[in-house]
């Protein structure tokens, strides 16, 4: 298991350095920068003793490229959807780490300093995390928010459970989606049903055995529907 910090279109060189510094505090060593601003002297000034993280950062042009390097992406958002918006249903950092998978590359995705992650980017994440803050001012500095999440990961000692691979998850969701395409023709309802199942599977971190059992049931349902 390897944790990555993914910073999407950082707008300030100093914030890249600040993120690298807090990564160093909690043993997160891999940084992916998506279409970043210039990395300059200010970046290294804020990084302090985490200059090696800046130097080894992976720089990609698109969010999709960053996701291709990950097995599991955890998006961060300051807007908690609750029951009113299934698109933004999220967990707290404490809830996130309870059953986090113990295999593959896991990315903590941090959005732009000015407006965070876009809705379409959040939809591409497997899971969303929101840090409970005052309603008077819920938006946190990127590095500060990342630090809270990294701390929750760090204090668990990364003793985690769950072994569903990316491929197994993809195949399970494909079978479910085939069923939805047959039984739900309304485009909006179809989309919501698929999104909710994806998020439920991501939040539960089911095991390979559980996935195999579900796939068996889905295959039987598909046979009956055919």
> Do 6 and 97 belong together in one domain?
yes
Of 155, 174, 207, which marks where a domain is finished? 155
For 77, residues 6+ apart whose C-beta sits below 8 A from its C-beta are: 88, 90, 111, 116, 117, 122, 128, 129, 130
Is position 161 within any domain?
A: no
Lowest mean pLDDT among 7-11, 110-114, 212-216: 212-216
> Do 44 and 117 belong together in one domain?
yes
* CA 160 and chain centroid, separation: 16
pLDDT of residue 54: 97
> Do 48 and 148 belong together in one domain?
yes
> Do 198 and 145 belong together in one domain?
no
Higher pLDDT, 135 or 89: 135
Is position 182 within any domain?
A: yes
> Do 196 and 131 belong together in one domain?
no
Q: Which stretches of 108-165 are DSSP H helices?
A: 119-123, 142-155
Domain limits for position 195: 166-225
pLDDT of residue 137: 87
Please state the domain count of the chain: 2
Is position 118 within any domain?
A: yes
Of 115, 135, 155, which marks where a domain is finished? 155
* CA 146 and chain centroid, separation: 12
> Do 99 and 190 belong together in one domain?
no
Highest mean pLDDT among 10-14, 104-108, 134-138, 199-203: 10-14
**Which helix or strand (DSSP H or E) is residue 107 part of?**
strand 105-110
> Do 63 and 30 belong together in one domain?
yes
> Do 141 and 197 belong together in one domain?
no
> Do 130 and 27 belong together in one domain?
yes
| Residue 118, SS3 per DSSP | coil
Give the separation between CA 90 and CA 94, rounded to whole angstroms: 12
Bridge partner list, 129: 76, 91
pLDDT of residue 76: 94
Is position 76 within any domain?
A: yes
Higher pLDDT, 171 or 47: 47
Residue 26: pLDDT band with limits 50, 70, 90: very high
Share of the chain above pLDDT 70, in %: 89
Is the pLDDT at 85 greater than 60? The verdict is no
User: pLDDT tens digits, residue range 148-203?
Assistant: 999 999 988 754 444 566 778 888 999 999 999 999 999 999 999 998 898 888 77
> Do 8 and 78 belong together in one domain?
yes
Is position 42 within any domain?
A: yes
Which strand ranges, in their side-by-side order, compose the sheet holding 2-8?
Answer: 58-60, 30-34, 2-8, 105-110, 72-76, 127-129
> Do 25 and 93 belong together in one domain?
yes
pLDDT of residue 161: 44
Give the separation between CA 80 and CA 61, rounded to whole angstroms: 28
> Do 92 and 7 belong together in one domain?
yes
Strand 105-110 vs strand 72-76: parallel, antiparallel, or unpaired? Answer: parallel
């Amino acid at each position: 298991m390897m944790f990555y910090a993914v910073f999407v279109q950082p707008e300030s060189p100093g914030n890249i350095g600040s993120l690298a510094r807090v990564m160093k505090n909690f043993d997160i060593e891999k940084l992916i920068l998506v279409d970043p601003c210039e990395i300059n002297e200010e970046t290294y000034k804020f990084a302090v003793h985490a200059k090696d993280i800046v130097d080894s950062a992976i720089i990609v042009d698109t969010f999709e490229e960053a996701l291709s390097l990950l097995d599991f992406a955890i998006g961060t958002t300051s807007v908690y959807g609750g029951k009113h918006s299934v698109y933004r249903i999220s967990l707290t950092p404490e809830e996130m780490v309870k059953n986090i998978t113990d295999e593959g590359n896991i990315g903590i995705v941090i959005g732009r300093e000015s407006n965070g992650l876009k809705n379409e980017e959040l939809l591409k994440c497997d899971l969303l995390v929101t840090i409970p803050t005052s309603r008077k001012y819920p938006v946190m500095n990127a590095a500060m928010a990342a630090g809270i999440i990294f701390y929750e990961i760090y204090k668990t000692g990364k003793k985690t459970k769950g072994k569903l691979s990316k491929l197994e998850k993809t195949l399970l969701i494909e079978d479910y989606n085939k069923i939805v395409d047959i039984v739900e023709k309304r485009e909006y309802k179809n989309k919501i049903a698929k999104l909710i199942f994806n998020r439920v599977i991501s939040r539960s971190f089911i095991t390979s055995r559980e996935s195999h059992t579900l796939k068996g049931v889905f295959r039987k349902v598909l046979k009956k529907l055919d």
